[in-house]
Amino acid sequence: MNPDYDDPVILSSKKRTVEDFCIRIHKDMLKQFKYALVWGSSAKHKPQRVEREDELEDEDVVQIVKKI
């Protein structure tokens, strides 16, 4: 699946964690959150597995993995 560059999620500079990202999509997403994969300048590896408190950088691509 390719990233959706046509409809990005915009975060403020003060609230830019993975948790903030999930809340912007849907408030109930954190209940099923397992981890996220991030591609971009905030990731040391491409992709990097991150937790909800990790910070995102501008133009990062995020994939949320939910609990089953």
pLDDT at 1: 75
β-bridge partners, 65 = 35
At residue 4, does pLDDT exceed 90?
no
Q: What's the DSSP call for residue 17?
A: B
- How far is the C-alpha of 15 from the C-alpha of 57, rounded, in Å? 11
- Looking at residue 56, its amino acid is L
* 39 pLDDT more than 90: yes
* CATH entry, 18-66, from 3.10.20.30, 3.40.50.1820, 3.40.50.720, 3.40.50.2300: 3.10.20.30
pLDDT of residue 11: 93
Domain chopping of the chain, boundaries: 18-66
Q: Return the number of other C-beta atoms located less than 10 Å from residue 39's C-beta.
A: 16
Average pLDDT over residues 55-66: 96
